[in-house]
Amino acid sequence: MSKAKSKVPTFKTEAEERAFWETHDSTDYVDWSKANKAVFPNLKPSTTTISLRLPEALLDRIKVEANKRDMPYQSLIKAWLAQDIDEHRRA
């Protein structure tokens, strides 16, 4: 006969829940023998293709910078855009 499971407490914040699970074993709260298999087929973020007109000289400079970092220039552009947006959101 299996041990009765404890009730999962209610958390006020995600940080509070994270701290709880870092110090507690889920088997005390969840009967994993009754769990269903989860499937997440679309974990990769969806992307949208756009057309962006850049001066050739600017694109050439971006490609040089990407080459220095050993990465595709489109990936460098995405990284720069994400970094700039993050910086502006913090400001």
**pLDDT of 26 strictly over 80:** yes
Mean pLDDT of the chain: 91
Give yes or no for residue 1 having a pLDDT over 50: no
**For residue 59, is pLDDT > 80?**
yes
The least confident of 34-38, 40-44, 58-62, 73-77 is 40-44
What are the domain boundaries of the chain?
14-90
Q: What is the pLDDT of residue 2?
A: 57
pLDDT in tens, 28-55: 998 888 899 888 887 887 888 999 999 9
* Per-position DSSP letters for 4-56, written without gaps between them: PPPPPPP-SSHHHHHHHHHHS-GGGT--GGGPPPP--TT-SPP---------H
Judge if pTM exceeds 0.85: no
